[in-house]
Amino acid sequence: MQKRFLLNVMLTLIWVALTGVFNYINLIIGFVISYFILWIISRNSEDRRYFTIAIKIVGFFFFFLWEMLRANWQVAYEVVTSNLHMKPGIVKIYLEAKTDLEITLLSNLISLTPGTLVIDVSDDKKVMYVHGMYLQDKEKFIDSIKMGLEKPLLNIMR
Partner 1 sequence: MTEIIIMILSGVGAITILLASIGMLRMPDLYLRLSVTTKAATLGVGLILVSAAFYFSNVGVTSRVLAIILFITITAPVSAQLIGRAAYLVKTKMWKHTIIDELDGMYDNNGTLHGTETSEPDANESKE
Strand partners, 127: 94
Choice between 36 and 66, CB closer to partner 1: 66
Choice between 97 and 110, CB closer to partner 1: 110
Shortest approach of partner 1 to residue 45 CB, angstroms? 32
Residues that bind partner 1 (CB under 8 A): 22-24, 68-69, 71-72, 75-76, 78-80, 84, 86-92, 107-108, 110-124, 126-127, 129, 131, 133, 135, 138
Nearest to 128 by CA among 137, 136, 119: 119
Choice between 7 and 75, CB closer to partner 1: 75
Choice between 49 and 92, CB closer to partner 1: 92
Choice between 53 and 105, CB closer to partner 1: 105
Shortest approach of partner 1 to residue 39 CB, angstroms? 26
Shortest approach of partner 1 to residue 88 CB, angstroms? 5
Shortest approach of partner 1 to residue 132 CB, angstroms? 8
Distance between CA 85 and CA 43 in Å, rounded? 55
Shortest approach of partner 1 to residue 108 CB, angstroms? 5
Q: Are 71 and 111 in contact (CB under 8 A)?
A: no
